[in-house]
Structure 1
């Protein structure tokens, strides 16, 4: 094997036709009944595909249904207040997807006068729509015979054709695109792509595949050769960089102090507990990490310097909150304090918010994790 896909299994026209027939017959009988498959509306296909990025189908279904009730059309999405949109997206993570979704909706409504591009190439001109999403929309909604190359397609076709191109390399997408383009059913491209999605999530999973009972068993060359789990070929991603934070749970008579993050960068415009990065508490000539008590003292001093609010902080005696982003792994120690008077918040980049009003603010998953950690600590009454 060369690692460039050139040694892949080659199918005859007869075998390609047999595969199409076998796959689509199975899909007609066993395809998943999903809410966004009720029709071929490009808006429904688009929203579902964006939600499904990095998220399991069962998690997406209730989000999708609520989203469609809130924003039933592309026009409604284009005109939605940003905070209402992010609130509807809350819990799915990767909030830039939601922002790009609205930008693209505005491009369709305003720039294109409500007219959708009907080709994959045209769809990729919209904000946030890449090759896979464009292929899915174009094939399902507009019947363009174009592949939708995602993780399922990589896995399924690498095994069917023994494609050894490393899927971690961007150039490998072209290898798979060309291979699938030769096989895709030109009469039912959308059903073909969705069948591949279903196949990859059922019989041809990443671990513990059930290829013995797969409808396309006879076409799965890697299985027939006895090394199915060697595919797809993928070099490991670098591990996320660990970053330690202190989160300050500051209770006042007016509510808990929450900060709104900047309008750019990670978790833009979202609300969290005040966070202090551990490395920001170190001085240049330190060769070893100070004791925890000293770091907590410095966290309080840094917060007072930035906001003018004096604190006495106590660590929550429970394990740290851990949350992994694509390139970072946050490890967060909660520190708590209760102020008898609401301080002057003129220098504080946020608000005092009552817990009963939290639902009115857009909060990322990491904030929800921190809050659950704090609530568990409260319920235990372990405040020593």
Structure 2
């Protein structure tokens, strides 16, 4: 066996390049779908779906997003502290557990989501300690069956108690909201059913005196395909990063979106091997004949899905190569078919696709998952490199 020599000045092991111009363009594209007066929330939870929450939040605001959304209050507090955002940019967080940092959130001016009486009571106590009213959005479970208050008596109790707290000066009800279960499946009957329930639940609250700043139910797929669901605010998540919510809704290009992340690595080794040579754990791949193998220094510790073993696609030396055998914790091999690019040559796992590289959706299909997971799981030891800041 022979081994190609490493080139001088080889690139770093791996990098995730984040194109902030693409993100700003996606924000403008999404805003163009909205009626005048409808605002856009850029969802930057999970470290901006793996892209970096702070740089992506700044870019989204530059392009016209006036709200930011996170799952946890700690994510929201970090944004408020570190992102250097204008004071009029609202930040909302919605995934709370008992004993959460309610007082800190109130003092930071965050919008907090409340789905049940336990959370409302904790908000009231925190507002008393903070000496200022909380900004509270009441979440309705219109059919997703996760967070949110059930319609009927539970909703009536929560709305009534929140109005009492508002009259007492402990909070301001700033929003009424919900989330779709199947908006990424065009024509699914639950979509119309949830919109009906949302209209009924918001109407009940407003009839009792709630005057929200915003009502919102639209996620990325509803933003793209359901103008009747836009209300006062839409929450753009995956579409912000240039991925389609589902293949059924078309490709990113069909919606004028551009993927923001390109994941690449430098080949750690290129070597010749004979036919019948086993590759990686379990020898699930055996070379069909004399060939060359390239070693990509990324693995499941970096977020590369092990379920894409023998299926994932990589662009090396102008050609698509398939993962050969199992993806390990730190590395995987590709069969180069006899080609001999030098060690240090670029291996592109996914990107926008216009350079011939695979896309995150290609990896999602290879792993039996969704594009959301592919970009979000890229690990912390892969440096993010921001371009067009």
TM over 0.5: no
> Which protein is bigger by CA-based radius of gyration?
1
Relative to its length, the structure with more helix (as a share) is 1
Relative to its length, the structure with more strand (as a share) is 2
Q: TM-score, normalised by structure 2?
A: 0.23
Tell me: higher relative CO, structure 1 or 2? Use CA pairs within 8 A at least 6 residues apart: 2
